[in-house]
Every structure is written in C-alpha cells, then in structure tokens.
Amino acid sequence: MRHLHLLPCREWNPSINLDKLWTLVPAEVREQAATKKAGEAVPVIDCIANGFFKVTGRGELPKIPFIVRAKDFTESAEKKIKEAGGACEKVK
C-alpha cells in the first residue's frame, strides 16, 4: 500500500526577494548599520529564523555591509549581495 499522501511536501521552499530582505531587521539595527564604519560588527540577517529558506535576486540593496544566512541563494542574489558589500552564508 502506498502512502504518498502522507509524505511531507518535498518541494516546499519559501523564498524572499532582496528588496524585502532588510524588512527582517529591526529599524534600530538598520539605522546603526548605516552609520557604522569599516571594521565594526555588521548585522546578520537570518532568513531561516524568519521562515525563508531561499533568497532570490529581485530588487536592489543599500550599500551597507551585512551577512545573510539561508539554505540557498540564486546566482543573481549572491552577486548583488557581494556587490553591496555583504556576504552569503549557506546553512544546512
């Protein structure tokens, strides 16, 4: 007997666009990040903690350094994040 209807959805992969990425960060952190100088701590945007697994490359980012944690990134998202001075961290 097959139980395919009991298996979890294997393709469930919620994603977020780059233009909505900074909405996951509180306003105070955004203001502090905009005024920080080189060498200081940068904000970490944890997409998985907010329910998103994939970051897609639609939209623009401010030129503020930051770190993004997610399970998957599109090529265009990685490129735009690195151009903005950020870093991509893939989490399993």
Domain spans in the chain, listed from the N-terminal domain onward:
14-32+41-90
Output the pTM of the full model: 0.82
pLDDT classification of 52: cutoffs 50, 70, 90: very high
Domain 14-32+41-90 has CATH 3.40.47.10: no
pLDDT tens, position by position, 28-44: 998 988 888 777 889 99
- CB 16, CB 55: distance < 8 Å: yes
In this model, does residue 1 exceed pLDDT 70? no
